[in-house]
Amino acid sequence: MTKRIKTDICILGAGSGGLSVAAGAVQMGAKVVLIEGGKMGGDCLNYGCVPSKAMIAAGHHAHAQAHSAAFGIANVVPQVDYAAVKDHVASVIGAIAPNDSVERFEGMGVEVIQDYGTFISETEVQAGDTFIEARRFVIATGSSPLVPPIEGLDTVEYHTNETIFELRDAPERLIIIGGGPIGMELAQAHMRLGIPVTVLEGAKALGKDDPELVAIALDRIRADGVVIEEGFKVSRVSQQDGITVHAEDGRTVQGSHLLVAVGRKANIASLGLDKAAVNHERAIEVDEGLRTSNRKVYAIGDVTGGLQFTHKAGYDAGIIIRSMLFGLPSKVRTDHIPWATYTDPEIAQIGLTEAQASEKHGDKLEVLRFKFDENDRAQAERRTEGLIKVMVVGGKPIGASVVGLRAGELIQPYALAIANGLKISALTNMVSPYPTMTEVTKRAAGQYYVPRLFQNDFVKKVVRFTQKYLP
**Short-list 357, 370, 431, CA closest to 396:** 357
Please tell me the class of the 153-262 domain: alpha beta
pLDDT at 61: 98
H or E stretch covering 88: helix 82-96
Residue 4's φ and ψ, nearest 5 degrees, are -120, 135
Q: Are the CB atoms for 34 and 14 separated by under 8 Å? A: yes
Q: Which residues are CB-contacts of 470 (< 8 A; sequence separation ≥ 6)?
A: none
> Does 141 count as an annotated binding residue?
yes
pLDDT of 225 strictly over 90: yes
Cite the beta strand spans of 149-223 per DSSP E.
174-177, 197-201
Q: Is residue 142 a known part of a binding site?
A: yes
3-state helix, strand, coil in the chain (%, to 5): 40, 25, 35
Q: Report whether 185 belongs to an annotated binding site.
A: yes
Give the model's pLDDT for residue 465: 84
Q: What residues does CATH 3.30.390.30 cover in the chain?
A: 339-454
- Mean pLDDT over each residue of the chain, to the nearest integer: 96
**pLDDT score of 289:** 97
Q: For the chain, how big is the Rg over CA atoms in Å?
A: 25
Q: Does 53 appear as a known binding residue? A: yes
With 90 as the cut, is the pLDDT of residue 460 above it? no
pLDDT one-digit tens code per residue, 289-321: 999 999 999 999 999 998 999 999 999 999 999
Q: pLDDT-based confidence at 466, cuts 50/70/90? A: confident
pLDDT of residue 458 exceeding 90, the answer is: no
Q: What percent of the chain has pLDDT over 90?
A: 94
> Which residues, 6 or more positions from 305, have their beta carbon under 8 angstroms from its beta carbon?
266, 282, 283, 284
Establish whether 117 is an annotated binding residue: yes
Q: What is the pLDDT of residues 111-132, one digit of tens each?
A: 999 999 999 999 999 999 999 9
Chain region(s) in the chain for CATH 3.50.50.60 = 3-40+101-145+265-326, 153-262
User: Which pLDDT value is given to residue 456?
Assistant: 81
- pLDDT grade for 342, boundaries at 50, 70 and 90: very high
Overall fold of domain 3-40+101-145+265-326:
FAD/NAD(P)-binding domain (3.50.50)
182 has binding-site annotation: yes
* pLDDT category of residue 462 using cuts at 50, 70 and 90: confident
Q: What is the pLDDT of residue 317?
A: 97
Residue-wise pLDDT for 347-362, tens only, equals 999 999 999 999 999 9
Q: Would you place residue 422 in the very low, low, confident or very high pLDDT band (cuts 50, 70, 90)? A: very high
How far apart, in whole angstroms, are the C-alpha atoms of residue 370 and residue 358?
A: 19
**301 labelled binding-site residue:** no
In the chain, % of residues over pLDDT 70: 100
Q: What is the mean pLDDT of residues 236-253?
A: 94
321 assigned binding-site residue: no
Candidates 3.30.390.30, 3.40.50.300, 2.60.40.60, 1.10.3470.10; CATH matching 339-454: 3.30.390.30
Residue 178: phi and psi, rounded to 5, are: 120, 115
Q: What is the pLDDT of residue 181?
A: 97
Closest CA to 389 of 194, 142, 211: 211
Tell me if the bond preceding 196 is cis, omega within 30° of 0. Answer: no
State the average pLDDT over residues 424-435.
Answer: 96
Q: pLDDT tens digits, residue range 362-418?
A: 999 999 999 999 999 999 999 999 999 999 999 999 999 999 999 999 999 999 999
Distance between alpha carbon 138 and the CA centroid of its chain, in Å? Answer: 22
Question: Has residue 158 got a pLDDT over 90?
Answer: yes
Query: Is 151 labelled a binding residue?
Result: no
* Three-class secondary structure of residue 385 per DSSP: coil
Determine the pLDDT at residue 13.
Answer: 98
| pLDDT reported for residue 463 | 81
Residue 268 has pLDDT above 90, yes or no: yes
Decide if pLDDT at 1 tops 90: no
Instruction: Give the pLDDT band (50/70/90) at residue 286.
Output: very high
- The answer to whether residue 455 scores a pLDDT higher than 90 is no
Q: Is 216 annotated as a binding residue?
A: no
Condensed to tens digits (0 to 9), the pLDDT of residues 30-59 reads 999 999 999 999 999 999 999 999 999 999
